[in-house]
Structure 1
Amino acid sequence: MSDKPSVLFFCVHNAGRSQMAAGWLRHLAGDTVDVRSAGSEPADRLNPVAVDAMREVGIDITGQTPVRLSWDTAEASDVIVTMGCGDTCPVFPGKRYEDWPLTDPAGQPIDVVRQIRDDIRARVEEILAGLTGQRPA
């Protein structure tokens, strides 16, 4: 059992928003936080525009794969962040929840995805500060 806090980022396809959020948290927190992401209806692959937007800031998320949320994953998470999943968002008693109303990057041009990426970074920084007291330099 890990003493590190854990965060689950959850959206429908687990191909854009949740993967960008997980990438940011891994980048900013290093090994101080366990990071997970999942979806209710996982896509076959990551959104290539989200991958490009993250690459622009030096974060490579190409090694990630969209996955379906499992009970165990949610149960093992301290914080569950939902993004646009509506009624398919999981509800697990005793968990801290945040819902981020973010534009879905699917089908969006790179300029829009950059804005989403930057919004996600600011939100991830707030979660990190609340969990560990860390503030990025």
Structure 2
Amino acid sequence: MAAGRGMVVRGWAPQVAALRHAAVGWFVTHCGWNSVLEAVAAGVPMLAWPMSADQFVNARLLVDEARVAVRACAGGVGVAPDAGELAAVLADAVGEKGRGMAQRARELAKEAARAVKEGGSSYADLEDLVQEIRELC
């Protein structure tokens, strides 16, 4: 890694730890559900680059509904982004639009943290599921 130039990791990487690092500003993601959840929990906005299957739906959710991502490329596997289009996307990410998304990502992370704490909605849903399973046994 060159100073100030970033880093590309091939193969497995400690994604959760990397996303939680203070130096991470944006996350280029294929929009797989686990990656989406990890980025949301870390409060990191995303450059959505879906490749296949549910990733396109996840990207749409992130961009249009949650407003914590911009679409980096409209293609799929093997489709390279248009250089001019990608430059515009990156300009948005570092501009006012990107700052708003970063703020929204931090807010969404706080909401997610509240949901999994005792008394939160996800915590309660898991308790309900466990109770239903116990009743079946």
Largest Rg, 1 or 2: 2
Between Structure 1 and Structure 2, the one with more helix by share is 2
Between Structure 1 and Structure 2, the one with more strand by share is 1
Which structure exhibits the higher relative contact order, with contacts defined as CA atoms closer than 8 Å and separated by 6 or more residues?
1
Could you say which TM-score interval applies, normalised by the shorter chain?
0.3 to 0.5
TM-score, normalised to structure 1, is 0.33
TM-score, normalised to structure 2, is 0.33
